[in-house]
Chain A
Amino acid sequence: MPEELIETIKKEFRNLILDGTVSNNETYLTVKKDAAVRICDYLHHTLDFPLISIFATDDRAKDGCFKIHYVFSCKGDVFIIIKIKVEETTPRFATLTHKIPAANWYEREIQDMFGLAPVGHPDPRRLIHFEDWAAGLYPLRKDFDIRTKPDRVKGEYTYRKVEGEGVYEIPVGPVHAGVIEPGHFRFSVAGEPILNLEIRHFYTHKGVEKLFESVSLDKAVFLAERISGDNSAAHAVAFCQAVEKIAGIDIPPRAKYIRTILLELERMYNHMGDIAGIATDVAYPFGAAHANYLKERVMQLNEKVTGSRFLRGMNAIGGVRRDIGDKKDMILKELDLMQKDFKELMELLFNSPSVADRIETTGRITGEIAKGLHVVGPAGRASGIDSDVRRDHPYAAYSELTFKVPVLKTGDVNARTRVRADEVYESMALIRQALSDLPHGEIRTELKTIHDGCALGYSEAPRGETLYWVNISNNRIERCKVRDPSFCNWLSIEYAVLDNIVPDFPIINKSLSLSYSGNDM
C-alpha cells in the first residue's frame, strides 16, 4: 500500500518531486517550492488525507535554508511529509489556507516563529507574539538566544469588526471569572444571539519548542508532560515514541501495556471532568458534583498506582519507570465500583429534560467545518469524523486490544457529551483487557546510543490526536515540533457559537474541552 501510494503521487507530479526518502511509516518528499500548494491540495482533496501539521525548521547551518514540512495522515498507517526549501533571501512561501482551512494557524505560527511569510494568507496578523513584540525577532531561528528579553514596543492589535444596528461587542478575558486558563474572547452580538466570535490566544506562550532545544532527552520527557498538564501521559508517550523510533528501539511488551493503562486512566479522568463541567454550566449541580467526585476517584487511583495524580514521571524513553502489576486487583475493584456509579449518573444526566434542553442542538459543528479545520478527538468524532489515532496509527498495545470508536453525526454539545461518556466505558474495558493480558518481563529498554534522525510520535490524548516531530542531531534535540489537539480545535469554536445565545457559550466551550496551554505552549 505505501509503495503504491507513493508511486501514484510520483506519477502525478513527476517533475515536481525532487527527492524522496522513507523511514518507518513516514515518507518524506521534497518538492519544488512553488508546487507545494498543488501537491498538498491533491493529497487533501483528491486522496482525502487530512493535513495534520505544518511546521518549519531552521537548517541554514546545514543546508543553507529553512524548510517547511506539511504532514498528512494516510490510510494504512502511513504518513506523507511534503517538504519545501525556503531561502533566507526570499523568506516567503505560498499560503495553503485558501485550499485547506486547517493550514491557517500553522502558517501564522511559522511567520511569527521563523520569519517566513505566507503569501496570500487571508489573515496575516500575528498569532503568537503580541503587538508589543518588536519586528524582526523570530524565536525558533537558531540565532535567537532563548534568554533574550526583548523590550516592549508600541503596537496595536486590530480585531475583526462587525457593524450594524444594535450590534455591540462583549470582550471577555484573558482573566476569567472561573478557575480556567487565560485567553481572550470577543463577541459581537445583537441582543442575545452571537453574530461573530473572535478568539485571541497565546497568553500562556512559554517558549516550549525553543526550550526543547536546550534540554537533555530525559528532561525533555518532563517538559512534554507539562505542555498541557491534564494530558501529561499522552504528551509524554507521543514524545517518547518519536525518540524511540529514531533510536530504533522496541520497548518491552509489558511497558506497552502499562502505557496503555496510563493513557486510558488519563482519558477517564479528563472525560469525567469535562462531563462535570458541562453539567455545571447547564445548572445541573447534582450531576456536576457526582462527576467531579468520580474524576477525583480516578485521580486518587492514579496516585495510588503511579505516585502522581497526573500520571507524571511514569513514562521514560524506552518504556516506563515503575511496574504496576501488583496494583491489578485494586484497579479492577475500583473500576467496577466506578463503572456502576458512572452508568447510573449517565442515565440520570441523559434522561433529564432540563439537561437535554440545554445541550441538544447547542453549539453545532457541521461535518464539513470539522473536516476543513481538521477537528480532532471527541469533538471531531461528535461531528462525524471517524478517526482515532489508537486505531488508525496504532501504538502502545492498542493493536492487540479490542475497542470501539464511537462516532456521532449531530455535532452538538449533546453529541460531544455522549461520545465522551461512551469512551469512558471503552477506556474501562481497555484497562481490564490490558491488565488481564499484561505480558511478563522488563518494563524498560535502555537507550544506549542514538544516531541522528527524525521521526513522528503520536497518541490519542483525551482531547484527540497529539503529534510530535523530533529531530535529533549529536544526541541533542535539534527541533521538536509539538502539535496539541487544541491547536486544531480552537478555531472550530468560532463556528460552533454562531447563532447561539451568549449564555450558551460556556457550555459550548466546555464541551469542546480546549487546552490553552497546549495550544499556546
Chain B
Amino acid sequence: MGLRVEGLVKRFGDLTAVDSLDLAVPEGSFFGLLGPNGAGKTTLIRSVVGLCEPDEGHIEVLGVPAWGRRGAEARRLIGYAPQEVALDRFVPVREALELHGRYFGMSRRDAVARAREMLATFELEDKATSYANLLSGGMRRRLLLARALVHRPRLVILDEPTAGVDIELRHDLWAHISRLHADGTTILLTTHYLEEAEALCERVAFMRDGQIVTEGAPAELRGRFGAGRLEDVYLRVVGR
C-alpha cells in the first residue's frame, strides 16, 4: 500500500476531527480525498506527514510506520504541499528549493541540480532570486508543488494544490501531477473542485465529520448512486 491508515483518531479538545478512520491508498494510485470544509481532510493529512500527532490508530507509508521508531524513514518518502501557503520569506526561491531537498536528505549537489530542474519545470526561473513573499498567489502554489517534489518522494500528498489559481495554471498543475502519477508516484489529493477529482483520480473517498463515508472509482460511484456527475454523488453522501 502507498498509504494505510487504521483506526485513526485525532481530537482537539472536545472536537473529534478524525474519528476512527480507515483508509488504504494503493501504491501507484491517484487518490482523491473529498468532503466539506472541516471534514478532517487536512488533519488526516497532517497526521500522515508528522505534523499532527494522532491520539489513536496506526499509519503506514509504503509499509513503514509513520509514528514511532521508523518515523524518520517514513517522512523521507513523503512529499507534501500544504493547504496554507507557508514559505520561508527570508530565503530566495531557488535556495528554498535547495534547502528543502537537503532537509530531506539530498546532498548539496543533488539539491542544487534538482532545484534548477524544478525551477524550469514550474516556470519559476525568472523568480529564482526573488523572495517567496513577493510572488503572486499562483507562483506560490507552483513553488509549493515544486518544493514537495524536490526530493523525489514516492508518496505525494497535495492539500488543495489548485485552490485560488487561474484556469490556465490549474490545467498546467493537472498536467504536472498527471505526469508524476504516470511515473509511478502514489498521489493523495484533496480538492473542492469535483471535476478536478473526476478528471484526475482513480479512486476517491468522501469524508465527513472525521470519517470516510463512501469510497470508490468515480465512475463506479456515479453508477452506484445513479448520478450523472461526481458532484451529485457528493451532494448525496456528504451534502447537508
Q: Are A and B genuine complex partners?
A: no
